[in-house]
Structure 1
Amino acid sequence: MNESDATTGEPRRSAPAPRSGPSDPDGHGISVASSPSAQLAGSSGSGHPVAVVAQPVGGDSASANEHVSRETPDGYEGDPPLAMEALRAVQILNPSGDIVMPRPDRPRVFCVANQKGGVGKTTTTVNLAVALALHGNRVLVVDLDPQGNASTGLNVPHHAGVPDVYDCLIDNVPLADVAQPVEGIPNLFCVPATIDLAGAEIELVSVVARESRLQRAITAHPEKFDYVFIDCPPSLGLLTVNALCAAQEVLIPIQCEYYALEGLNQLINNINLVRQHLNPTLDVSTILLTMYDRRTRLADAVEQDVRNHFGSKVLEAVIPRNVRVSEAPSYGQSVMTYDPGSRGATSYFEAALEIAMRGVNTGGAA
């Protein structure tokens, strides 16, 4: 018999047996060796208009009504390839195909940062990147966290010996040589992080132009991406400074709890210092509220405080606490493909659509 999730009240299926490795600092699961048998997913049930245009990634097309969400007990046997999962995600999130995630006029480079751990940085990076890539945008994810959780969430190898972002920062290896295509998601690439990156913070201290190493690597990439998402570690060291120098926009995920607000002023101060001395074009363009629990007054109070302070920078889409978001990384997937009918998937989809529309409406920068 299925247990009921204490937070969402949804039926919860058994979690997979994890492989050894560090836990996700954002609190969203740990990785396993391979994706288990996946069930077909069904219509989202979201009351919001969500959609995107994307070409089918492979396999036979089917109507969204033929699929059943993982949040229901029924499903199909077998282990379809991730490309089929991606196709289902598009069919479920955008059954009519009417809504488009337009490509920006120029590349948009996002630094996803918050010095507090566990607020959803990696989960946000992975799911926004997948949502945009599934709907016609070319997206690059740069995993700048030594724990490599974004690489895990995209099922990209990042064990010792794999060429990674450390080689780009320290040895000037071209970014194109270490970027890996993400299986099953066309137009999505990931620059992985291995444990070697843990030493980069110290090694960069004596390197010439240490703050702009990542920016030069991204600029020199021969292909131009519509979106680049840089997943930062939960600190304000040289790795995060490199990300802030390479980006034009900062996306700050904020957990809807009191502690999440305490370190926000220091983060904003550091961003202002980088803007004054290193990157004058940097802008805190996007605030995303995560782990929202509508049953608590605190979540509502935090939301109101953030919206009053940051105004239109705060996305209308809010990411709820959702067990499917937590489960997805342990299957080597984003929640967009793991269970596109879940509230977590539809919320991230709406956030990605809002980011895409903001970029077009303001000429390429939110």
Structure 2
Amino acid sequence: RNNQRHSNNDARRPPKTFMPTNGASRTSRKELLDLIGNNPGGHLDESSRFKFETKLRAYANTPNVDPSDVLFAIGSSVYGTNISFPVQEQTNGSKPSDEEEKETNIIIDFDYMKAFMKDVFLSYGVKPVHAETCSEVLIEADRRGIDSHGFGRLKPIYCDRMDQGILWPDKPIDVIKQTDTTALVDGNLGLGLYIGPHCMQMAIDKAKKHGVGFVVVQNSTHYGIAGYYATMATDAGCIGLSGTNARPSIAPTFGVEPMLGTNPLCFGIPSDDDFPFVIDCATSVNQRGKIERYAREGKDTPRGAVIDSDGIERTDTEGILKDMVMGKCALTPLGGAGDAMAGYKGENISLIRIELFIAISLGRGLNCVRTKCISVHHFKSDDEMRSKKKKSSWDIVK
């Protein structure tokens, strides 16, 4: 499903192709490919999803089918159909060695993955220029090895939310107010993956002309990795700042209820070396995207990253993801739960650097809007529970 990181020697190998060895497998696979090719938006239609799931399960039960066939990844990521295969044993009854398992890994080219994601966005009605931008932001996360924010989030964060009407594929970006160095932008609940780059470019253009650019965005949505935007700034020769507040998911020190967002903050500074200096991190020990990756890999969540409503540090990844939806689990702040490892530092970085900074910048109450900061500054916001009353900076801090 995700591109496997590999050595230079691996990079020279051609990608593995799938060629079923028996007629039934070949027929089933061709039917699945035809279904996808002739109906690219079929995952939005219930009858098409049912037809795809039925054919995929039939294909999975044909003799000698390859579990690593990309069709099973498409079934999981796009159609929501997960197929489980038992671990194959060798003739002596033992499991394959690590070296033998490595040989079965499938290398999928980044360009192929990006093209696939672009096609998915187009099928939802995203404009071609925006679909190109959205797929580029996501694939850049995979290129950097940030598996928690790339291809693996295409379905749960973007496709599912467009299906549910939480965000929209074709909303315009409106500039509400601007000066030479600042701007307030409304994303109208469109895809943050194209709103973010647009506003970062605004900030860069202002900085190039006037020395600094600060763009605040309200009514936006998940925008991928914050580091993408800071790197846009460094590529333009600017010092970049990018960040966002988020839904409550972190428990405060000695608490168990999710109250603070993971609120990532990212800085990028150009350098004389081949790469700029960029730091992009959340204010929690772990983020939900990484826990979702643990689930895909069948791994436990490291102890100390999640605490439940009974104050127990949880490691059962599948249970954690279910309970997080119900508000029964919370992420721990940088430093962990309690004060033994200075968890209050992570709590206050989340609260002061992001929540208060954003609230003061927008003149609104805490946890009011979803906001992002980018390069020479860009902020973004998710507009629910927003205070209608104007507040002074001191009122907000109090």
Judge same fold: TM > 0.5, yes or no. Answer: no
Higher relative contact order (CA 8 A, sep 6+): 1
Please report the TM-score for the alignment, with normalisation by the length of structure 1: 0.32
The TM-score, its normalising length taken from structure 2, stands at 0.31
Larger radius of gyration: 2
